[in-house]
A and B are shown apart, each in its own frame.
Chain A
Amino acid sequence: MSYLVTVRVNGVEHTAHIEARLLLVNFLRDVLDLTGTHVGCDTSSCGACTVLVNGQAVKSCTVFAVQANGADVTTVEGLAKDGKFHPVQQAFWDEHGLQCGFCTPGMIMTTVALLKKNPSPTESEIRSGIRGTLCRCTGYNNIVKAVQAAAASGRMP
């Protein structure tokens, strides 16, 4: 059975006929060609697939796309404005908050959500805030520095 869904992704409305079992992450990657959102573990553990649904960080491998019907979704592709990095992207660049880069889209989206809830987190709040997003390179020290730099940038929207 096919379902008609309309999802607003990075400010653009998309309408598509999909199967109920299509996961949100596969809708983004395979239907909309937005491959910035990664699939890591596919078991809601690693957080590489983190996107914002109505402003809240969720693991898009554990949400069916039909559940996002009518929702507002932001992926890593939606952060930069007018060719300029979002302050969290800039901070990850400046502090080299990545090694292989695979977790980076999820880490950045998690950070955007974390800083919206808590604009000036302590180091321990940052570490517990990002604990649902795993960096298998174990590059956490620079990731934490990047989150601190983004918080201190005074540029967070």
Chain B
Amino acid sequence: MVTSDFEYLAPSTVAEASRLLSKYRGEAKLLAGGHSLIPLMKLRLAEPKYLIDISQVKGLSGIKDERSAIAIGAATTYAEIESSALIRRRFPILAEAAGQIADLQVRNRGTIGGSLAHADPAGDMPAVVLALGAELVALTARGTRTISVDRLNVDLLTTSLRPSEVLTTIRIPNLPARTGAAYKKFENKASHYAVVGVAAVVTMGAGGVCTGARIAVTGAGPKPVRAKRTERILIGKELTPSVIRRAASRAGAEIGDRFNDDIHASSEYRAHLTAVMAERAITEAAARAK
């Protein structure tokens, strides 16, 4: 398959990439790993006139220890995240989730920033980063803007990033003591995309009572969402199997009647899977929180 013709631009800095985005507003796309964009271009569902390749931009990839957080460059590949000793030690859920994405070849190209900015409803990283309460840094010619991950996802394939903004950094703040995290997905066997995936981050208080929970669901609806009803049921309780099951059964509440319905799964099946995956993720996160 052949894409529409385009002009290829390879800026060396983020500021230059942002300038090109404003200059060719509406006609340009950023190219990082390209594993969502290039397939869309082959189908001519995307026909950008300009492709701005940011994969070689200095300082846009790599993982930094900022003590109170780790900062992951937007162009960092899944393979780098999966194999990073720093991430495995501080946020093992990120390495585990990255290792479940697609396959070895795709993980060598696909990037965390690309996943978040593209906002595929079945992406893995958007849910994990949402559950971890990340902070996103975006750059324009006018300066930088920090976006809470809670405000990133607007709708299907739509984020709150502005047209000339380049997502540069995903900052994951340290988790409180006695916090456990887990990501469980029911994957499509061919693509390995999440039919439904649930990321759970659970904090236990000294008295064995849950004091904090962030649960994020992907694949189920048009965009990843926090399962706030579930979180409220968990907080303040001992996480017994029956409490977890009751909380997980409400994990689809925020999705309501907007469950995805396609050849991979009906909306009824996705609603069922949401509760099942939530129960598994919360159970594992709670076990790890001890």
Least distance between A107 CB and chain B CB atoms (Å): 12
Q: Which residues of chain A come closer than 8 Å to B191, judged between CB atoms? A: 45
Name the distance in Å between A126's Cβ and chain B's nearest Cβ: 11
B6 contacts which of A21, A114, A132 (Cβ < 8 Å)? A21
Q: Which residue of A lies closest to B102 (CB)?
A: A132
- Interface status of A150 (Cβ within 8 A of chain B): no
A12 within 8 A of B: no
For A131, the chain B residues whose CB sits under 8 A away are 103-104, 192
Whole-angstrom distance between the Cβ of A53 and the nearest chain B Cβ: 8
In this assembly, does B5 line the interface, its C-beta being within 8 Å of a C-beta of chain A?
Answer: yes
Whether B34 and A3, one on each chain, are in contact in the complex, defined by CB atoms closer than 8 angstroms, is: no
* A44 in the interface (beta carbon within 8 A): yes
Nearest opposing residue in chain A for B55, CB measure: A67
Is residue B263 within 8 Å, beta carbon to beta carbon, of the partner chain? no
Q: Is the CB of B6 within 8 A of A20?
A: yes
User: Are the C-beta atoms of A43 and B105 separated by less than 8 Å?
Assistant: no
CB-defined interface of A40-73 with B at 8 Å, one 1/0 digit per residue?
0011110100100000111100111011000000
> Which residues on the B side are within 8 Å of A1 (C-beta)?
5, 7
Residue on A nearest B7 in the bound complex, by CB: A1
Question: Chain B interface secondary structure, helix, strand, loop or mixed?
Answer: loop
Residues of A within 8 A of B7 (CB): 1, 20
Q: Is A113 an interface residue (CB 8 A)?
A: yes
A56 / chain B contacts, CB cutoff of 8 Å: 79, 108
Given A3-B8, A64-B8, A67-B34, check contact A58 B190 (CB 8 Å). Answer: no
Q: Across the interface, name the chain B residue whose C-beta is closest to A3.
A: B8
Query: Are B109 and A129 in contact, CB atoms less than 8 angstroms apart?
Result: no
B34→A47 contact, CB < 8 A:
no
Known: A43-B42, A62-B38, A64-B34. A20 touches B51 (CB 8 A): yes
Could you list which residues of chain B lie within 8 angstroms of chain A, going by C-beta atoms?
Answer: 1-8, 31, 34-35, 38-39, 42, 51, 53, 55, 79, 102-106, 108-109, 190-192
In whole angstroms, what is the CA distance A130 to B103 when docked? Answer: 8
- The reply to whether the CB of A19 lies closer than 8 angstroms to some CB of chain B is yes
Closest chain B CB from A50 CB (angstroms): 6
What residues on A are CB-neighbors of B106 within 8 Å? 44, 59, 132
Provide a sorted-by-A list of 18 A–B residue pairs whose CB atoms are within 8 angstroms: A21-B4, A21-B6, A42-B42, A45-B190, A47-B103, A50-B105, A58-B109, A62-B39, A62-B109, A67-B31, A110-B104, A110-B105, A113-B105, A114-B104, A130-B104, A132-B103, A132-B105, A133-B103
Given contact pairs A62-B38, A132-B105, A42 touches B1 in the complex (Cβ within 8 A):
yes
Closest chain B CB from A121 CB (angstroms): 11
Among residues 11 to 47 in chain A, which have CB atoms less than 8 Å away from a CB atom of chain B?
Answer: 19-21, 42-45, 47
Name the B residues within 8 Å of A43 (CB-CB): 1, 39, 42
Q: Is A59 touching B105 in the complex (CB atoms < 8 A)?
A: yes
Which residue among B8, B103, B109, B190 has the maximum number of chain A CB atoms within 10 Å of its CB?
B103
CA distance A3 to B5 in the complex (A): 12
> Are A47 and B38 neighbours in the complex by a CB distance under 8 Å?
no
Q: Are B8 and A66 in contact (CB under 8 A)?
A: yes
Q: Top 3 A-B pairs ranked by shortest CB distance?
A: A132-B103, A20-B8, A56-B108
Contact across chains for B53 and A58 when beta carbons are under 8 A apart: no
Q: How far is the CA of A43 from the CA of B7 in the complex (A)?
A: 22
Q: Is the CB of A20 within 8 A of B5?
A: yes
